Structure 1
Amino acid sequence: MAWASPSAFRLIFTASLLLALLDLCRGSTIGVCYGRNADDLPTPDKVVELVKEHNIKYLRIYDSNIQILKAFANSGVELVIGVPNSDLLAFSQFQSNVDTWLKNSVLPYYPATKITYITVGAEVTEDWNNNASALVVPAMQNVFTALKKAGLHKKIKVSSTHSLGVLSRSFPPSAGAFNSSYASFLRPMLEFLAENQSPFMVDIYPYYAYRDSPTNVSLDYALFQSSFEVIDPNTGLVYTNLFDAQIDAIYYALMALNFKTIKVMVTETGWPSKGSLKETAATPDNAQTYNTNLIRHVINDTGTPAKPGEELDVYIFSLFNENRKPGMESERNWGLFYPDGTSVYNLDFTGKGVTEMGSGGNATNSTGPTWCIASSTASEADLQNALNWACGPGNVDCTAIQPSQPCYEPETLISHASYAFNSYYQQNGATDVACSFGGAGVKVTKDPSKYSCVSLSSFVTYISFPHVFTSEQ
C-alpha cells in the first residue's frame, strides 16, 4: 500500500477547507418567486429555459409541484419549495402524512433538483379564515423529522414566511416589536429556527407602505433613491431607504426576544408595473428602478445600518404577471415577464451592468442623445432634496454651481438641479432609472444646453436659463 506524503495530506485538507469556506461565504443572493395564479403561463420546461437565459440561479415556488421539480432537474437552479396553508392541518396532525409527502413528492427528484428550503405555511397571520398559525410549528417539526429520517435535515432548511404585519411596531426600526397576539406560536417558532439555524422569512413591500401612506413615505425613499436621511432617534443610525428600515425592524424585534443569532431572509419583495388609476406609482419605470436598486444593494453585501455587511438572501416577486390574482389591478402586474416570455422591463441580475427599459416600458432613446433636466412640475422641496442627493451620495461634482463658479448664475433651483441631474444621468449610462430622482427629473431629446448650464460627458456649456422647461419639451 502506498502512503501519501504529509504535503499531500496538507494539500487535500487545504482544498477541503477552501471549498467549505466558499460554501459558507457565498455572499448575498437574488432569487425570483415563481407564482402560478394564472391560466396563460408557459409550461415548466419553457420556464426553465427562460430562467437560465436570464441567469436566475434561485427560485421560489409555493408548493411541491411534481412537473416543476422534474423540469428543474440538473438545471443548477436552487429551489425553495412550499407547504401551502391548506395542507397545514394534515401536516401538523400526523407524522405519517409528512413522511409520505416527502417520499412521493420530494425525494424522487432530489438531489438532481436542488432544493434548499421548505417553507411551511405562508403569511399565516394574514389568513383570517382559519386558525392556521396554531398549526405551523407542529407542521414544521414534522417536516424536520421527516427530513432527519432521510438524512437531509442539514441540507434542506425548514422555515415559514411572514408578512410585515407580524410586527406591532416597525418605526423607528430600533423599536421593532412582534405583535403580542402572535406570541403563542411565534416564540416556539423562533426557538425552532434558532435551534436548527434556519432563517426568519419575511415578505417586505415598500410599495404598499408608499401606496397606503404617501404623505408619510416619500417615493424616492421607497425606491432606494432617497435624497434625504431618516435618523433613528434611539440609535442614531441613518436610513436612506425603507427596505433597510423594515429589515432592521425585524432584527430589533428578534433581539428584543433575545433571538440574536437568527438570520433574516426576504422571501418576497418587488414593485408592480401597472395599477389602477389610484395606484399612480405602479409603473414600469418605478418597478425597474426599485428592483435594479434592490439588486445592486443586495449583491454588494451592503447590509443594513444595524447589520452592516450582513449577507441577505432576497426573492423578487414575481416571475410572471398572474392574471387570476384577485384584488386591485396592481396585484396582477408584479411580473418581470409576460406569459410569452418577453420582459416587462429588463433587469441585470448580477447588479453590475447598466440596464435599459425593455418592451412595455419607457425605453431609453437609442437613436440619439438624451439629457436629464429638472421637471417644472416638481415641488421646490423635492427638487432641493434631489439636488442634495445628486451632489452628495450621487457623487456628482457640483463645484460649477457653487457661488462665484461658472454655473452659479442664474441662481435658480431649477437651473442648479438640471445641471446636477444631467451630470448624474450622463455618468450612469443615460438610462431612465438615472433620470428618475423620485419624479423630479425629466428626460428630453432636445439639447437643453442653449437654455441652461448642463454638464455633458466631457465638457460643460455655460449659457443662461431664460425659461422653465415643461415635461412636454
Structure 2
Amino acid sequence: MGSGFRLIFDCILLLMLFGICQSSTVGVCYGRNADDLPTADKVVQLIQLHNIKNVRIYDSNIQILKAFANTGIELMIGISNLDLLPFAQFQSNADTWLKNSILPYYPATKITYITVGAEVTEAPNNVSALVVPAMQNVFTALRKAGLHRKIKVSSTHSLGILSRSFPPSAGAFNSSHAFFLRPMLEFLAEHQSPFMVDIYPYYAYRDSSSNVSLDYALFESSSEVIDPNTGWLYTNMFDAQIDAIYFALMALNFRTIKIMVTETGWPSKGSPKETAATPDNAQTYNTNLIRHVINDTGTPAKPGEEIDVYIFSLFNENRKPGLESERNWGLFFPDQTSVYNLDFTGRGSLDTTTGSNITSSNGTSWCIASPTASEDDLRKGLDWACSSGNVDCSAIQPSQPCFEPDSLASHASYAFNSYYQQNGATDIACRFGGAGIRTNKNPSYDNCLYMTLGSNKTAASNATVSPSRSSSSVEKVSVWIPGCLLMAFLPFL
C-alpha cells in the first residue's frame, strides 16, 4: 500500500498547488462611519482574538493598511464611487494610486481583492458607465507591477441589480444595466474574478413580512419553498437569492464566474417598526450563516459549491443615516465588547433557546430519519451525508456495528445524526429536505453508538475494514482535504 498512499499524497499536493481544492471562508466588513471606534491597532487585535482571517475595508486608508501588516489577515480594499471618474479617465491616476497607496505596504499587508465602486446602480449619481473603464485601468496598473494574478479586481452590487429574483430559476438582471453589466461580466470571466453581491434577507423580511417568514430568512425554516421550474427545495432565503444570481449569470452565458457575498448580516436593534432587529435574531442569522458557509453546503443549484462571505459589520456605526437599524449591524460595540456571542468556527451552539429545540433532561438530542420520509428522500440524504456532508459512514457497512438492521431508514438515521452532531446539533443540521427529525431518545443500540454533540465517539470507532481482497481488486479510497473530497481508485498492492 506504500506506493498507493504516495500517489494519494502526490495528488493532494498537486491539487493544493493549483488551488483546485478550496473551502469557503467567512470574513467581516470593517466599516468606519462612526466617531467612537477604537484605533486601528486595537481593531486588528480584536480581529485576531476572534480568529477572523478575511476583512473588507471600504478604502485604502494608510493607517489601516499599516495596522494589518504581518498579520496574515487577507484584506479586500475599496475604491469609492466618488473616485471612479479619475480612475476611469486616465491610466496614470490608477498607476499613481497603486504606487502610493498599495505598493509601499504590500505584501506585508496581504491584499487579495480590490473593489472598484460599490453598489453603483444604487448610487444617486449615475456612475455605472465609469465602473468597467476604472476596473480595466486598475487591472492594468496591477499588471505593470506584476500583481494582476495575486490581487483580483471586481465591483460590488446590491440584489437590486436583478429585475427578478423569484423563483430563483427565473433570476434575471435588470435590462437597464446591460450597457455596463455585460462588459463587466466579460472582464470578470476573462480575469477569473468573482461577481460580488451584497445580500440582505433582513430587508426582504422587513419590507415583505406577509410574503417572507422570519424563520425562512434566519435559516430556521421547518418547511421548504419550492421552485416550480426546477422542483428544487429552498429552506432559506440566502440560498434562493444566491441561486437567482447564478441563473441570471447563466442566462447571459456566464457559467464560470464565481459568486462572492461581500456583505450580509442582521441588525441587533431597530426602530419601533423594525421588530425583527434583535440581538437574538442577529445571532441566529449569523451563526446559521457561518455554519452553512464553512460546511460548503452550497445551494440547490450548486450543491457543495464553496462561497466566500463577509458579515456586515464589525462595529455599530453611529454616524450612519437612516432608520435605527442602520447604526446597529455590528458584531461589537465601539468599546470592543460583543453585541452577542458569535463563534466564527461554526462549531459553537447558540446561546438562545427556541421552542423548537428538543433536548433530553441532560441537554442531548439526536437526529434520525423521519418515519414519513420517502425512500427517495432518505436515499438522497444518506448519499449526501456520506459524501459532501463529510460523515464517516463506515459503521453502516456490512459486518460493522450499525449495519444491522440492514434498512435504508436505519442507515440514514445513523448518517443524519453524525452530520447533525458534527454541525452544532441545530435545527438546520437535521433538515435533509424534511427527511430528518429530532428526538430526545437515544437511538443507540447494542454496539451501535450514536454520536452526541461535543463527542467524536461513534460506532465507527469499533468498525474494522476487512483486509481480504483479491490482488486484482480495486480499492476505493476517500481522502478528505480542506474543501473537497478526493476520490482515488488505487490498485490493491
Q: Distance in 1 between matches of 2:349 and 2:355?
A: 20
Instruction: Give 1:170 deviation, angstroms.
Output: 0.3
**Corresponding residue number in structure 2 for 1:118:** 114
Q: 8 Å contact 1:356–1:432 — kept in the other structure?
A: no
TM-score computed with the length of structure 2 as normaliser: 0.71
Q: Distance in 2 between matches of 1:255 and 1:271?
A: 29
Q: Report the CA distance shift for 1:35/1:432 in structure 2 as closer, same or farther (over 3 A).
A: farther
Q: Distance in 1 between matches of 2:280 and 2:173?
A: 34
| SS of aligned partner of 2:104 | helix
Q: Deviations over 1:134-187 (max 9, x none)?
A: 100000000000000000001000000000000000000000000000000000
Match of 2:289 among 277, 290, 294: 294
Q: Report the CA distance shift for 1:373/1:213 in structure 2 as closer, same or farther (over 3 A).
A: closer
How many residue pairs align between the two structures? 374
**Corresponding residue number in structure 1 for 2:481:** none
**Corresponding residue number in structure 1 for 2:182:** 187
Please state if 1:17 is matched with 2:3: no
Instruction: Give 1:352 deviation, angstroms.
Output: 1.6
Q: Deviations over 1:100-132 (max 9, x none)?
A: 00000001111111000000000000002x221
Please state if 1:65 is matched with 2:61: yes
Instruction: Give 1:350 deviation, angstroms.
Output: 1.1
Q: Map 1:114-153 to 2 at 5 A.
A: 114-128=110-124, 130-153=125-148
Q: Distance in 2 between matches of 1:374 and 1:12?
A: 44
Q: Map 1:195-210 to 2 at 5 A.
A: 195-210=190-205
Q: Map 1:232-311 to 2 at 5 A.
A: 232-311=227-306
Q: Distance in 2 between matches of 1:266 and 1:24?
A: 20
Q: Report the CA distance shift for 1:173/1:458 in structure 2 as closer, same or farther (over 3 A).
A: closer
Instruction: Give 1:432 deviation, angstroms.
Output: 13
Instruction: Give 1:17 deviation, angstroms.
Output: 2.6
Q: Deviations over 1:317-365 (max 9, x none)?
A: 00000000000000000000001110001111111222436xxxxxx7x
Q: Report the CA distance shift for 1:373/1:37 in structure 2 as closer, same or farther (over 3 A).
A: closer
Please state if 1:102 is matched with 2:110: no
Instruction: Give 1:16 deviation, angstroms.
Output: 6.0
Q: Distance in 2 between matches of 1:455 and 1:186?
A: 50
Cα RMSD of the aligned pairs, angstroms, is: 2.9
Q: Distance in 2 between matches of 1:341 and 1:33?
A: 15
Q: Distance in 1 between matches of 2:425 and 2:228?
A: 35
**Corresponding residue number in structure 1 for 2:389:** none
Q: Distance in 1 between matches of 2:84 and 2:40?
A: 26
Q: Map 1:405-416 to 2 at 5 A.
A: none
Q: Distance in 1 between matches of 2:341 and 2:425?
A: 12
Q: Report the CA distance shift for 1:273/1:434 in structure 2 as closer, same or farther (over 3 A).
A: farther
Q: 8 Å contact 2:368–2:439 — kept in the other structure?
A: no
Q: Report the CA distance shift for 1:346/1:95 in structure 2 as closer, same or farther (over 3 A).
A: same
| SS of aligned partner of 2:59 | coil
Q: Report the CA distance shift for 1:356/1:457 in structure 2 as closer, same or farther (over 3 A).
A: farther
Match of 2:40 among 26, 30, 44: 44
Q: Report the CA distance shift for 1:236/1:102 in structure 2 as closer, same or farther (over 3 A).
A: same
Please state if 1:326 is matched with 2:298: no
| SS of aligned partner of 1:190 | helix
Q: Deviations over 1:10-38 (max 9, x none)?
A: 999879635415x4422011000000000
Aligned residue identity for 1:178: F
Match of 2:218 among 205, 223, 243: 223
Aligned residue identity for 2:144: K
Q: Report the CA distance shift for 1:238/1:106 in structure 2 as closer, same or farther (over 3 A).
A: same
Q: Distance in 2 between matches of 1:12 and 1:188?
A: 41
Q: Report the CA distance shift for 1:455/1:309 in structure 2 as closer, same or farther (over 3 A).
A: closer
Q: 8 Å contact 1:285–1:432 — kept in the other structure?
A: no
Aligned residue identity for 2:159: L
**Corresponding residue number in structure 2 for 1:350:** 345
Instruction: Give 1:206 deviation, angstroms.
Output: 0.2
Q: 8 Å contact 1:226–1:241 — kept in the other structure?
A: yes
| SS of aligned partner of 1:108 | coil
Q: Distance in 2 between matches of 1:42 and 1:313?
A: 27
**Corresponding residue number in structure 2 for 1:395:** 367
Q: Which runs of 4+ in 1 moved over 4 A?
A: 10-16, 372-375, 396-399, 431-435, 454-459
TM-score computed with the length of structure 1 as normaliser: 0.74
Query: Which shifted more, 159-168 or 231-240?
Result: 231-240
Stretches of structure 2 that go unaligned for 5 or more consecutive residues are: 1-6, 359-365, 372-416, 429-437, 444-493
Instruction: Give 1:396 deviation, angstroms.
Output: 6.3
**Corresponding residue number in structure 2 for 1:53:** 49
**Corresponding residue number in structure 2 for 1:313:** 308
Q: Distance in 1 between matches of 2:349 and 2:8?
A: 41
Q: Distance in 2 between matches of 1:133 and 1:264?
A: 20
**Corresponding residue number in structure 2 for 1:169:** 164
- How many percent of aligned residue pairs carry the same amino acid? 77
| SS of aligned partner of 2:305 | coil
Q: Distance in 2 between matches of 1:77 and 1:52?
A: 8
| SS of aligned partner of 2:257 | coil
Q: Distance in 2 between matches of 1:122 and 1:71?
A: 24
Aligned residue identity for 1:170: S
